[in-house]
Amino acid sequence: MKELQKQIIQALAERLAPYGFVKRSGNCFTRDINKNVWQRIEFPPSYYHPGVKAIYPGIAVGYKDEFDLQRKFFNFHFPYPHYSYSTFYTMLLNLVRTDDLCWTFRKEEDIIPQIDDMTQTVVKKAIPYMDYISDRKNLIAEMESGFIYSKFETWCHTRLPIAYYLEGRNDLALWRLNYYIQKFETELSSYMKEDENSHSTNGARNKLQDYIEFAEKLKKVMETESR
């Protein structure tokens, strides 16, 4: 099966090269949009049963300034190449709004038709969306609109205020921080009415405390680091 995966990745490399994507380690391809933004497409293999490989593509966009901010002020340790970092990541199936979108490969079958179909889906769906959110104003709009938020709510709790700060909108960053704190306080209060020491209550209490700590760090950054 390793030989099959090698053939799949080689065929994808040939088809993605015209779009500027370069093969990296493992099953991913990246391209730089500018000095601050990179894009990544991943083709991780899964296995239904022996002899059958399934691939669910994933896409990601990374912002260097956000990556640097996380490492400098939020004790974020990332001992991997920068292109492995994701400001935003999702499976391709979430973009086409389906519960199942994968391509299966069998060792004894011709892989080219499936490769071509998968590549066309990436080109038509994934690349345009990555290009769109490679402009941070569009990424913020997607989070605020609900499409990203509805699927990745926890991710938005930190990334949205940071994105506003990096766009020079401290007012909106502060508004979002306070909004989420109030949201977590309401959740905690609801759990405490049922049982002050339940697993859910303790989880909500920890979530609130963690977020308050994050908010205080970001507020300090906004006070000391001008954009």
| C-alpha separations of 107 from 42, 50, 110, 112, 163 in Å | 21, 10, 8, 12, 44
Buried b (16+ CB within 10 A) or exposed e, 77-91: eeeeeebbbbbbebb
Q: What pLDDT shows up at residue 156?
A: 85
Below-50 pLDDT ranges, the chain? 149-150
- H-helix or E-strand spanning residue 22: strand 22-23
18 vs 41: CA distance, rounded Å: 14
Q: What pLDDT shows up at residue 150?
A: 46
Q: What pLDDT shows up at residue 221?
A: 95
219 vs 24: CA distance, rounded Å: 36
Strands 58-63 and 103-106: unpaired
Q: What pLDDT shows up at residue 108?
A: 79
Q: What pLDDT shows up at residue 86?
A: 92
83 vs 104: CA distance, rounded Å: 27
* DSSP state for residue 33 in the 8-state scheme: S
DSSP 148-163: HHHH-HHHHHHHHHHH
Q: What pLDDT shows up at residue 149?
A: 44
- H-helix or E-strand spanning residue 59: strand 58-63
Q: What pLDDT shows up at residue 152?
A: 58
Q: What pLDDT shows up at residue 168?
A: 94
Strand partners, 60: 40, 89
